[in-house]
Amino acid sequence: MLVLTRKLKEAIQIGDDIEITVLAIQGDQVKLGINAPKHIDIHRKEVYLAIQAENSAAAEAHEASLAELTAKLKQWKHP
C-alpha cells in the first residue's frame, strides 16, 4: 500500500485520468473530490462490498434455479 500525505487543496494523480483532491478536513473526516472518466465506477468501500455481496447472492440463486430447472427437465424427459 502506498501511503501519501496531502494538505487541503492538494491532489493525487492516478494514471492519466484520475485525480483525487482533498477538499475539506473537518475533525476526523476528510472530504475528497474525485475526477475520473464516467466508465470508472467509484464507490465508498462499504457500498462496494454490499454490491459484491448482492452480486454473489444473485449468482448463487441463479445457479440454484438452474440446477432445479435441469433436474425438472430430466424428470420430464425420463418419467
Do residues 36 and 3 share a domain?
yes
Least confident residue range of 11-15, 24-28, 57-61: 57-61
Better-scored residue on pLDDT, 17 or 70: 17
Residues 68, 61: contact at Cβ < 8 Å? Answer: no
Residue 7 has pLDDT above 80, yes or no: yes
- 51 and 28 co-located in one domain: no
Residue 36 shares a structural domain with residue 47: no
Is residue 33 domain-shared with residue 52, that is, in the same domain? no
* Mean pLDDT, range 25-35, rounded to an integer: 97
Q: Are 13 and 2 contained in the same domain?
A: yes
Sheet holding 29-35, edge to edge: 11-14, 18-26, 29-35
48 and 24, same structural domain?
Answer: no
Same-domain pairing of 6 and 35: yes
Residue 30 contacts residue 24 (beta carbons within 8 Å): yes
Beta strands in 1-79 (DSSP E): 11-14, 18-26, 29-35
Residue range of the domain that includes 73: 43-78
